[in-house]
A and B are shown apart, each in its own frame.
Chain A
Amino acid sequence: MGSRHEISLVVNGEERRGTAPARTSLADFLRDTLGLTGTHLGCEQGVCGACTVLLDGAPVRSCIVLAVQAEEREVTTIEGVGGPDALSPVQEAFCETHALQCGYCTSGMVLAAQALLDADPDPSREAIDEALGGNICRCTGYVQIRAAVERAARTLAEEAVPHE
């Protein structure tokens, strides 16, 4: 099983600590040690993108990042994006366009979209496909997901206009 390590990191703005064997993935640490089950595991091989979280603001596949690699770093999971009473513009747009069905890939998809819009507030269609291209959705065929990202970009642009 190997050595156990004390890990401290910032998750969704809060300092969190836990111990885990060195081989523990960040995804397993978030789910099993911290109880953040909004991060879902689809392939555990770094391909499907379901487990995407933000590590210091950049999207990573938490199934192939070790928990110890997140030591002293900042992690954002779906729980940190927005709760049911305070949806983020991306989450709101996903609801408005029905950009999901079973919900299993949705956490990773929302975070990938969030990372895109953080970096590129007005993404082209190609940029959207590029940002979401590593996140597999088996339910939707992506049509309503693309629409959600475009809609969220519009909302964010409107919010960014300074009020008189």
Chain B
Amino acid sequence: MSESYRWVSRPGNIREDRRFVTGRGRYVADITPPGTLHVGLVTSPYAHARITGVDASEALALDGVVAVLTGAELAKDTDPLRQYLAVPEVQWRPLAVEETRYAGEWVAAVVAESRAVAEDGAELVSVDYEPLEAVLDPEVAAAPDAPLVHPAHGTNVMAHREFRWGEVDAAFEQAAGTSRVRCRWNRNSTVPIETFGVVASWDRTRDLLDVWASIQMPQFPDQLAHALRIPTNQVRVHFDVDVGGSYGVKRGIKHGVLTGYLSRMLGVPVKLIEDRTENMHGGDFHGPDRIFDVELAYTADGVFTGIRIDVIDDEGAYPGRSPLQLAKPIGAIVGPYRIGGVAYNATAVVTNKTGQVAVRGFGQSPTNYAIEAAVDAAARDLGVDRLELRRRNFIQPEEFPYRIPSGTEYDSGDYPAVLDKAEALADLAALEARRDEIRASGRLAGIGVATCLEPGGGNAIFENVMNPSNDKTTFPEGCRLRVDADGQVTAVIGISSAGQSHDTMVSTLVGEELGRDPRTIAVIRADSLTGMPSQSPVGSRMTIVLGQAIRGAADELKAKVAAIGAHNLGVSPDEVGYDGGEVFVRTDPDRRLGWREIAVIAHRKQHRMPPGIQPGLEVVHVAHTPRSGTLAAPDGTVQLYPCYSFEAHLVLAVIDPGTGRVELDRYFIAHDCGTVINPDVVRGMVYGGTAHGIGVALYEQFAFSPDGQPLTTSFMDYLLPSAHEVPDIADAEHCTPSPFTSLGQKGAGEAGYMGAPAAVAGAVNDALAARGAPPIHALPIKPSDVWSALRATEEQGEK
């Protein structure tokens, strides 16, 4: 590392942890204002049905039930929830109106004195349905004669974009060979341990809706106000609420609109805490559900020249923001490889399933999986070692910044060095020897490899890529720094956190910038009306964009401190230096003024203030996302995210041939996110994201029956990895600083998850290949899939 820091990059001192280990976190379920009523939900038992009648009389007769609200009643006074595509006929509402479009969709809400009574009441609401034909398969849904999820829209295809960048036709025409894979990334999600919850409280004397929510979402306050048809300055979302995990999905806009409406209607606080089944099937919190067809073209030497990626994504019934997840991967569409020509055809369709939402990486991890599956296929077809083939095609360290065909410039990286680190960490020769020993013992074993990117510093330019009529380019973060008359520093941010240790990150960065001990810096969350513009912690962006805001605020604060110091030292501001809060005369460093004294002057001694300087020591800086501000060109080329972290995975999988069960024996990652703010936090992200990716690769799927009934409604059938399934993971960090951020940092919040699904699948396929079985290209790889693949191979052998 070229820079040396006083506090940045040092381990430990994670200030949030003490609060959480003592159970003193404050989650939304812990917030119950006096007089709060609770919501129970009536949900659709059909994947697609017409609502012909709702009878709430029995529910209303139950002791403790206060009100029942139907979709038709709610729709009269509210607007539909935001769609990001230009699809005005697709109306997404908190409670279904006239038709339900997936099993589990909310149909009516019961409000009662307790959550238990509200649930009792929900069971007593009688709804008449007339079942309609449902469509579950995305490829069937895309066909012209398919049953329509939203008949008024005229098609189930919500978006279709075809992009071609670089010499893609020539690449395929002149290729010595191509490798092609069809991969299935089945429907899963992040499924946080805390379900979504919200408390809304309307104050009719002040015309103010107070909202406490388990939220991680850009523009949540604005969207609430718009749907409720009230001015945006009448919604105050409190961000000092701990979020019990999110990883992208905590976007309960419909929950917020429903409770906000009920609170206004009833004049009391209203609380909605999802139960687990509601969270898994009623919250519209599913993730990408994709079918890829990928073809990679290369020369006789195995040099990649072109890639074609066709993808169809099943958005579920209400597309919302989810189709934009097809556009973000455009910014890393060639992975870490030098590939000159790209064709990318992306289609978003709706089906009668739960709606989709943003999930960790916003579509990047599925695309990384598809690219890596094609690279592994090429290695098999060419008979070249998988690591060697990757090394042969890596963008080289001296080529940065490197512009990929789709217009994005990767900021920095050293992919060969990071892969070398992974290989050394794993002791690859020893790992291969272990694999071979296991094979010799009769079990199957395989090593998986993945090398891929994590775009960081999220902006929203994918909105413009998928919907050119949307010309949004601004996606800022802000920080307020205030120094009181005692010299104590407070940093104010306008976001909630879901485990990212933002208090630690902000205090460390503010401390480093100001030269003040981070332990003395308070970090406070403003609410949405008193805070600064913020887009929330999405897209691995906070150290980058909030880091930029902190740099800007610190620079402004230091300039003010220097001006006051210079004035009192009798010199001009350009004659002084700043050192840990003290201001000194550069030519005579013993002449100096202390931090505390400057703070007192700023707050209390107008007679010692330089003219034209405001009293107090308070600054607000709002920063743009680095490298943003440009719309996409008509061909879709655009600078997507500013920073590109890199990770290399090596994993050894062992398979029991009798049961098909996969066990991960060893797991190694080398990871480069530039300058690390806190190594313990970054390692935690890497491990956690990897575990999440292991779940995707081997266990997690929202499954449906052929008529659209959800088959995975609890943690007994939707399987999250436990300590039994996640092996020890060894992580080696590498640092290639970004030239575009305050201290060289890049994103880390989606690390591990970017490559783990590809690496684990690769390990299983390496094990299968050794037995002559074909690769499996659908996630999750279930024991039955492995067993079937082996069985088919055995039968083949017997013939």
Contact = CB atoms under 8 A, between A and B. Distances in A.
Contacts of A36: 23
B18 A42 contact: no
Given A1-B63, A101-B688, A140-B687, A84 B19 contact: yes
Interface in B58-85: 63-64
Given A28-B116, A42-B276, A139-B245, 15 more contacts: A1-B63, A43-B276, A48-B193, A48-B720, A78-B22, A78-B23, A91-B21, A98-B681, A100-B17, A103-B16, A104-B194, A106-B23, A135-B722, A140-B691, A141-B689
Contact of A94 (B21, B25, B722, B723): B21
Contacts of A104: 25, 27, 192-194, 242, 244-245
Interface string A91-108: 100111110111111110
B24 A84 contact: yes
A37 interface: yes
B191 interface: yes
Contacts of B194: 40, 42, 102, 104
A79 B23 contact: yes
Contacts of B498: 102
A141 B17 contact: no
A145 B723 contact: yes
Contacts of A102: 20, 192-194, 242-246, 498-499
A4 interface: no
A87 B684 contact: no
A82 B689 CA distance: 30
B206 interface: no
B18 A87 contact: yes
B661 to A, nearest CB: 16
Contact of A45 (B17, B117, B687, B715): B715
Contact of B684 (A38, A40, A132, A140): A140
A146 interface: yes
B723 A128 contact: yes
**Interface residue tally of chain A, by bracket?**
35 or more
10 contacts: A23-B116, A24-B116, A91-B21, A98-B17, A102-B499, A105-B193, A128-B723, A133-B723, A138-B190, A143-B728
B724 A43 contact: no
Given A38-B23, A138-B191, A138-B692, A144 B723 contact: no
| B193, B242, B498, B715 interface centre (most CB from chain A within 10 Å) | B193
Ordered nearest first, which 9 A-B pairs have the shortest CB separation? A38-B23, A103-B20, A104-B244, A102-B499, A101-B499, A141-B691, A78-B23, A141-B687, A47-B715
Given A40-B244, A43-B276, A104-B192, A82 B22 contact: yes
Contact of B752 (A95, A137, A141): A141
B490 interface: no
Interface string B22-41: 11110101100000000000
B242 A95 contact: no
A47 B23 contact: no
Given A1-B116, A42-B194, A140 B20 contact: no
Interface string A131-164: 0111111111111111000000000000000000
| B120, B498, B715 interface centre (most CB from chain A within 10 Å) | B715
B17 A142 contact: no
Interface in A100-137: 100-107, 110, 128-129, 132-137
Nearest to B63: A1
A136 B14 contact: no
Contacts of B715: 43, 45, 47-48, 136
Nearest to B756: A141
A83 B14 CA distance: 17
Interface string A58-85: 0000000000000000000111011110
A95 B17 CA distance: 5
**Interface residue tally of chain B, by bracket?**
35 or more
A103 B25 contact: yes
A9 interface: no
Interface of B: 12, 14, 16-25, 27, 29-30, 63-64, 116-117, 120, 190-195, 242-247, 275-276, 498-501, 680-681, 683-685, 687-692, 714-716, 720, 722-724, 726, 728-729, 752
B120 A1 contact: yes
A54 interface: no
Contacts of B17: 94-95, 98, 100
| B244, B688, B723 interface centre (most CB from chain A within 10 Å) | B723
Given A134-B722, A137-B193, A100 B691 contact: no
B752 to A, nearest CB: 7
B22 A96 contact: no
B64 A1 contact: yes
A163 to B, nearest CB: 27
Given A42-B276, A137-B193, A139-B245, A106 B20 contact: yes
B723 A138 contact: no
Given A47-B716, A102-B498, A141 B690 contact: yes
A41 interface: yes
A48 B192 CA distance: 11
A44 B723 CA distance: 20
Contacts of A79: 22-23
A106 B21 contact: yes
Contacts of B193: 40, 42-43, 48, 50, 102, 104-105, 136-138
Nearest to B691: A141
A138 B16 CA distance: 17
A141 B688 contact: yes
A8 to B, nearest CB: 22
A24 B116 CA distance: 9
A40 B684 CA distance: 22
Contacts of B685: 101
A146 B191 contact: no
Contacts of B690: 141
Contact of B276 (A31, A44, A91, A98): A44
A136 B22 contact: no
A125 to B, nearest CB: 8
A137 B23 CA distance: 15
A143 B729 contact: yes
| A23, A37, A44, A91 interface centre (most CB from chain B within 10 Å) | A37
Contact of B245 (A1, A23, A84, A138): A138
A142 B726 contact: yes
Contacts of B275: 44
Nearest to B194: A104
A149 B330 CA distance: 43
Contacts of A107: 23
A150 B490 CA distance: 37
Given A23-B116, A48-B193, A40 B276 contact: no
Given A101-B500, A103-B19, A141-B752, A129 B716 contact: no
Contacts of A78: 21-23
B192 A138 contact: yes
Nearest to A25: B116
